[in-house]
Amino acid sequence: MGKEWLRLKYPLVEIHLDRLRENAEYIVKLAQKYGVQIWGVTKVTCGHPDVARTLLDAGIKAISDSRIENIQRMRKAGVDTYYTLIRIPMISEAETVVQCANCSLNSELDVLKALNEAAGKYNTVHDVILMVDLGDLREGIWPSDLMDIVGETLKLNNLRLKGLGTNLTCWGGVLPTEENLGQLVELAKSVEDQYQIQLEIISGGNSSSLPLLREGKMPHGINQLRIGEVIMLGNDTVSHKPFPNTRQDTFILKAEIIELKEKPSHPIGKIGLDAFGKPPFFEDKGIRLRAILGIGKQDVAADGLKPLDPGIEVVGGSSDHIILDLTEAEGSYKVGDIVDFTVGYECLLKAMTSPYVEKVVV
């Protein structure tokens, strides 16, 4: 707090690389115990090059991201590794994908054909992992259609079928289990038997699969996971509690107080919808010491902010403002002071994407 404004521009996110490395090293060690390789997912940091380097230094074998622009950013910064695009490519970006990414996750034959044509144009071979939908109903080939798609993929000379994968929890909330990931292993065996090939990768999902791995219940045959949130924030995406042996203070958001006044806790007058078209709810606590921060929902998710001062309450926010209740704060604050927060996944994603939030590597 105090005169930090003389040196830094707020709001900002501090990226603590040493803490990230601790998390990554632990996850790599845990996975190695069960013969599983970890590919680090950098999408929540918009492909920040220093973050990618830290993951690789910690033993991560490859970098994955959902946006080709992020992969381009890391390559331009000199981060030399194996890159996978983990969002299904758009046909319109096929040429860029085969130029920038070594591998991509796929579920559509038309997209595969576009990638094959683009790879031929640039005289390269592009790796693909076919995604299988095991019930979460986001991306993936339905199991009954898999053999036909595999057969068509193997006819595309400029593509290499690297393996099969799945995604769980992200949309439908379906949890990874011994049963559904066991189904993926069985499908991979069927593919290998029918087409007399060897699949290099059987990708058992994302951070939500780590609890299963930690319990020693990951089906034999799953040999790769795509991990982002547990490394980045130390969050167990299944229980929404801290993942054991990881840190949750890897990213610290700092925002400046622009107004500090005692005001009623309940608005005065007839109440309609808020700026986002939702009916607001207010608990009447009487007069409270309220602070407004120079950051808003355009930059962060208000419900993902956790003040380091445990007496501070995040009341809510609008596009450009976050409102705090400082009545029970342990510290003493004034206008111009800085409030520190740890952040949730959505909150970090917005902050790292926002051009109005500075990013400072520690």
Q: pLDDT tens digits for 73-99?
A: 999 999 999 999 999 999 999 999 999
Helix, strand or coil for residue 99?
A: helix
Q: How many CA atoms lie within 13 A of 157 on its CB side?
A: 3
Second CATH level (architecture) for the domain 4-11+249-361: Beta Barrel (2.40)
Residue 86, pLDDT score = 98
Q: For the chain, where do the domains classified as CATH 2.40.37 start and end?
A: 4-11+249-361
Residue 182, pLDDT score = 98
Q: Please list the active-site residues.
A: 43
Q: For the chain, where do the domains classified as CATH 3.20.20.10 start and end?
A: 17-233
Q: Within the chain, how many helices (H) and strands (E) appear? A: 10, 16
104 contacts: CB under 8 Å, gap ≥ 6: 84, 85, 86, 88, 89, 97, 115, 126, 127, 128, 129
Residue 7, pLDDT score = 65
CA-CA distance, 22 to 26, in Å (whole number)? Answer: 6
Transcribe 80-97 into DSSP letters. Answer: -S-EEE-SPPPGGGHHHH
Residue 334, pLDDT score = 98
Residue 145, pLDDT score = 98
Helix, strand or coil for residue 246?
A: coil
Phi, psi at residue 43, to the nearest 5°? -60, -35
Residue with tokens 């590919």: 39
Tell me the CA end-to-end span of the chain in Å, nearest whole number.
Answer: 17
Rounded to whole angstroms, what are the CA distances from 118 to 127, 135, 160? 13, 32, 14
CB 184 within 8 A of CB 134: yes
What is the dotted CATH code of the domain comprising 17-233?
A: 3.20.20.10
Tens-digit pLDDT profile for the chain (362 aa)?
445 545 689 999 999 999 999 999 999 999 999 999 999 999 999 999 999 999 999 999 999 999 999 999 999 999 999 999 999 999 999 999 999 999 999 999 999 999 999 999 999 999 999 999 999 999 999 999 999 999 999 999 999 999 999 999 999 999 999 999 999 999 999 999 999 999 999 999 999 999 999 999 999 999 999 999 999 999 999 999 999 999 999 999 999 999 999 998 877 888 777 767 777 777 888 999 999 999 999 999 999 999 999 999 999 999 999 999 999 999 999 999 999 999 999 999 999 999 999 999 99
Radius of gyration, CA atoms only, the chain: 23
The residues with which 65 forms a beta bridge, in sequence order, are 85
CB 144 within 8 A of CB 185: no
Q: How many CA atoms lie within 13 A of 313 on its CB side?
A: 10
210 contacts: CB under 8 Å, gap ≥ 6: 27, 30, 225, 227, 230, 236, 243
Q: DSSP character for 76? A: H
CA-CA distance, 352 to 114, in Å (whole number)? Answer: 31
Residue 357, pLDDT score = 98
Q: DSSP character for 266? A: S
Residue 267, pLDDT score = 79
Q: Which helix H or strand E contains 75, and what residues bound it?
A: helix 68-76
CA-CA distance, 252 to 347, in Å (whole number)? Answer: 11
Token couple for 275? 């700026």
Q: What share of the chain is helix, strand, coil (3-state, %, to 5)?
A: 35, 25, 45
CA-CA distance, 347 to 169, in Å (whole number)? Answer: 19
CB 357 within 8 A of CB 256: no
Instruction: For residue 68, give the nearest of 134, 115, 136, 132 by alpha carbon.
Output: 115
